[in-house]
Structure 1
């Protein structure tokens, strides 16, 4: 697998509360994670960095992931563990009271990719069928769209756009969405925080991925365009591409 990851505090925020990482286990399988510490809460950066760091520890100790069921169970079990860690930390440290984070993570193997998400950080797939979103935002605005109360266009500028219905670490138990897709040569997975998806359209994302010479160039263009379009939030992304040489390690 080839991969890149980037995070940028943007043009407005004083601090970067996002964390991002891409890790390989002992068998060469890949785990990509983006976490967006909850804005407006103290210690959002603590919640997101705790999440990424623990995922890295757990993944590097993991053996071969051979089935989708194994990948889904691994992600679900580890997120429950990490959620409890973050929640307990917030309860025992007054400086961190109320902290939380979104999370979107993808296990990428030679046969499939399994994606889990909580909150409004997103996962996308770019393959021969085109570019499409794999995750559903756990946000008030997305629920209003799904129930037909507002249009997608209304959602873009809704005053409560940033209200999340789920986050990691804010409660003792957490619900998440998990799905598995076929992952083949030249397919590409993009994970990002809302600092990117709010500022760069799906059409622009597809165009950048189509026209970039390499993943580094694409990642830098994403950050640059999100900042050009306002950069009001932290911007984070991870890209994993299944390259032909992946099969040889």
Structure 2
């Protein structure tokens, strides 16, 4: 496996509230994390950074994850711990009241990837079956689309498209959606904040991910396209490539 993480402030924001990274545990498995923070007075920064820091520490202390059941249990247990930590911090620090963050995380082994998410940061998989979004946005407009009240096209421009129905740290208890997919050499995962998914079409994502570039160049190209299309939000992504490092560019 090979992985890259990249974040960019975008063209309109004064600071970056996104965070995340790709971390390795004792068995050489990856945990990829993207967190898009929210809240006044820079509290979004606090929420996303706390999420990244705590998950990184938990993961680096973790032994091998041998099955999807173990991976799903790990994500649920540790994201719950992070949620409790964020919620307590927001209740005990006035400047952090109401803070929260989206979270999309993927445990990556040579046989499978287990994805957990809360909010509207996404995970896509590129494999022999094509390119597929693996997560479902916990957002108001997505619920309107699912109920037939709004078309997918209109949802992209809806004035309340940023309203989340679920976020990490905003409530004492939280539900994490989890899903596992089998992987083979050549498959790729793309995790990203809505600063990317709102600005880059799925076809462009596929074109760039399958281009003859290094992983780092692919990440930068995706960010460049998001900025070319306005860059109104912070842009963050992680790409995991299921190849031996010796076989990848």
TM-score, normalization by structure 2: 0.97
CA distance in 2, matches of 1:234, 1:39: 14
Task: Name 1:151's counterpart in structure 2.
Answer: 151
1:168-216 CA-partner distances (Å, limit 9, x unpaired): 0001001121000001111100000000000001011001011142111
TM-score, normalization by structure 1: 0.97
Task: Name 1:94's counterpart in structure 2.
Answer: 94
Mapped pair 1:24 → 2:24: yes
Q: Which runs of 5+ in 2 are unaligned?
A: none
Task: Name 1:122's counterpart in structure 2.
Answer: 122
CA distance in 1, matches of 2:49, 2:29: 22
1:45-74 CA-partner distances (Å, limit 9, x unpaired): 100000000000000000000000000000
Task: Name 1:141's counterpart in structure 2.
Answer: 141
CA distance in 1, matches of 2:184, 2:41: 40
* 1:39 to partner: Cα distance: 5.4
What is the count of residue pairs matched by the alignment?
Answer: 247
**Aligned counterparts, 1:159-178, within 5 A:** 159-178=159-178
* 1:40 to partner: Cα distance: 5.2
CA distance in 2, matches of 1:53, 1:207: 32
1:105-124 CA-partner distances (Å, limit 9, x unpaired): 00000110000000000000
Task: Name 1:68's counterpart in structure 2.
Answer: 68
Q: Which runs of 5+ in 1 are unaligned?
A: none
SS in 2 for 1:37: strand
* 1:244 to partner: Cα distance: 3.5
**Aligned counterparts, 1:1-249, within 5 A:** 1-38=1-38, 42-244=42-244
* 1:246 to partner: Cα distance: 8.1
CA distance in 1, matches of 2:146, 2:184: 31
CA distance in 1, matches of 2:54, 2:144: 34
